[in-house]
Structure 1
């Protein structure tokens, strides 16, 4: 073997109870530029790793009290960034294969082909480096493409994030539109927390949840005796939000009569309590949201045109999740980390096939549905990986859906992504078969999957 130049130095721990074999392996790996340490037993290896972690452990399977497979279990639990390669005789190949199922990177058989051993060690190190880079990249993406919990790397969500940052520092009224579950309240909260009013209160009102008979009292307050049951004077939400931000969710559900009073509060910066006659000055920044098309409601006579134009100073539209499926991997990773911490669970992540399936789902409940699904999967998980088989039938029917049931009227890029991911799902995540079915090379498939945010967990081939 000849030294390889230009590559990162690989640190290797050789674990072998036979001294001559241990020294031969150490010498061979050292000769090709690797940093090599040795241990004569599994116990000695554990002590060494505690003080000096290695990129790769090369261990014999058959040793004294602590076998190579026992050592593998320890490394998996305490040194997840270290790859394990097992050395086995022909009679113990079955146990080595079983060890691979339990997390070993690979195995080599005796007598050892030193060229193959070097290749396997370098591949193992490269894979760990890629996994670390991928993890760092995900953290960077979460940092770059999130504002106060809003997560997205798609073009449309980056535009939303830019708008949030632009309008937060102003005092302008903001109207947020989008389907239920897209995160309108989260966007409103982000605007408030990044504004000059961040230290003041943000008062939230769901207009759809309040009965018509109470909405005016809730918003504007009431005087004692204003109506049956009004035993004391009560401040309304506008007064409580004085100096801060008022968020009116589902503003389209307000009655026309209430809309008149709301318009006055916005224009005159004052409210009048129910049963009162004295105007009360309020300094409130208003953020409103609706899942309905307020312009259509205005044209239909259900929403006042003067209020609509007063609200329509700055508009933000939050797209449904089905129109930004490229954000699904980021959201999956974010909520997985969140709920693993909350419920004290350890889950490595989603399999490639599970990610592909979740990126072909339409998400009618949007981000709220995805969040609830991930929490359910974390709580009920029986292994350290979420696979297609663990997904509920509503998201992943346990049957082969027709591959060509693709949506019409969508951009070609969307259809290509959907077709690619459904093909990968159909073959159970086998990328070689998927590439063959799609009529493209594996390198092209890996490039597409990278663009879609699907972590393959493997190094892309150098050529098709």
Structure 2
């Protein structure tokens, strides 16, 4: 049942609007407010689906109600009702984030159509929120070992800040997972999370990838292109394998961190960016600094907070939890029934040193889900160990 608030100081107009809506759909639950102050109280107490809000009202006007909704970040489509003299104000409310506006006297078809669109928009928005929650489960941090508890504690403290974080650890330990957790628990979680694998991009292209370029900057630059810093504006930029970045690109990243602005390749125009940078590496950057392969000043800019993700062999107590998690999640992905695992099979997994870390463990479990018996036992393990 859709909940709709009619905020209008004239009782006769409220009555007409209510009649129109209840005739359109008897399942609509209609709330009424005679002024902006009363409207805000209802918005606070009820989970509404949309609001019809007059611009001119006593106590608080429609603009103030809209401002309140936006300031509180309430997901609520606001349809503004404007008199003939309020059109300019109505247009301003659209710039503020109103869903639409209807002129008095309202055209019946336009009114109903706007409400239908607002309600469907709200449904879509709620589905997107559910989808985001499902996506976030992809980055679940599984484990109860002391090492993982320490990482979770650090993330809880650091995520709400804009402090830069350097994540270290072997390949396959879950450095990307930590970066995603930091972003999802931050105030920037609604903004983009942009990942750049510095090791996967040729050194001659890394600057263009990070900072963008203008047309004609180099042979294949046939149009202007924004880089990852601009794409991540307001959000988080994750520089994975930063130890593989060229010294020239490191200098530009350092400037971006210091001055909060960048220049596209081939341009001398500064572009302001608001980006939180999280970096990760499997290299010992202090050794890289001694060998003049990494800038010490950039290291200190990045390593405000250090998080080291342990190898799986150093947190073997988490293996049973990880195995069960992968068995269930892979079964859901493949649309099949999950499999059980015997104690002896689990012992074999616990005894392995996992040079490929969690990535290797997941690959083994996926193969066992496909090729193993319904209850995975030590016979199945002979295929891999």
Gaps of 5+ in 2: 1-136
For residue 301 of structure 1, report the CA deviation from its aligned partner: 1.1
Tell me how far apart the structure 2 counterparts of residues 163 and 391 of structure 1 sit (CA, whole Å): 37
Is 2:210 the partner of 1:225? no
Is 2:267 the partner of 1:298? no
For residue 348 of structure 1, report the CA deviation from its aligned partner: 4.2
For residue 346 of structure 1, report the CA deviation from its aligned partner: 2.6
For residue 347 of structure 1, report the CA deviation from its aligned partner: 4.0
Tell me how far apart the structure 1 counterparts of residues 138 and 369 of structure 2 sit (CA, whole Å): 25
The one of the two structures with greater contact order (alpha-carbon pairs below 8 A, sep at least 6) is 2
1:203–1:147 Cα change, 3 Å: closer
Tell me how far apart the structure 2 counterparts of residues 348 and 250 of structure 1 sit (CA, whole Å): 35
For residue 393 of structure 1, report the CA deviation from its aligned partner: 4.1
> 1:175·1:316 contact (CA, 8 Å) conserved in 2?
yes
1:234 alignment partner, SS class: coil
> 1:345·1:378 contact (CA, 8 Å) conserved in 2?
no
Q: Please tell me whether Structure 1 or Structure 2 has the larger radius of gyration of its CA atoms.
A: 1
1:253–1:377 Cα change, 3 Å: same
Written as runs of structure 1 = structure 2, the 5 A alignment for 1:304-343 is 304-343=295-334
Tell me how far apart the structure 2 counterparts of residues 172 and 258 of structure 1 sit (CA, whole Å): 21
Is 2:354 the partner of 1:386? no
Tell me how far apart the structure 1 counterparts of residues 286 and 321 of structure 2 sit (CA, whole Å): 33
Is 2:134 the partner of 1:159? no
TM-score (norm 2): 0.63
1:155–1:147 Cα change, 3 Å: farther
Tell me how far apart the structure 2 counterparts of residues 192 and 245 of structure 1 sit (CA, whole Å): 7
For residue 344 of structure 1, report the CA deviation from its aligned partner: 2.9
Written as runs of structure 1 = structure 2, the 5 A alignment for 1:22-41 is none
| The one of 134, 137, 162 aligned to 1:171 | 162
| The one of 322, 343, 349 aligned to 2:340 | 349
Tell me how far apart the structure 1 counterparts of residues 259 and 338 of structure 2 sit (CA, whole Å): 54
**1:411 alignment counterpart:** none
Is 2:229 the partner of 1:238? yes
Number of residue equivalences: 249
> 1:220·1:238 contact (CA, 8 Å) conserved in 2?
yes
1:182–1:380 Cα change, 3 Å: same
For residue 299 of structure 1, report the CA deviation from its aligned partner: 1.6
> 2:339·2:369 contact (CA, 8 Å) conserved in 1?
no
Gaps of 5+ in 1: 1-145, 397-464
1:231–1:348 Cα change, 3 Å: closer
For residue 177 of structure 1, report the CA deviation from its aligned partner: 0.2
**Which contiguous aligned blocks of 4+ residues in structure 1 show a shift greater than 6 angstroms?**
none
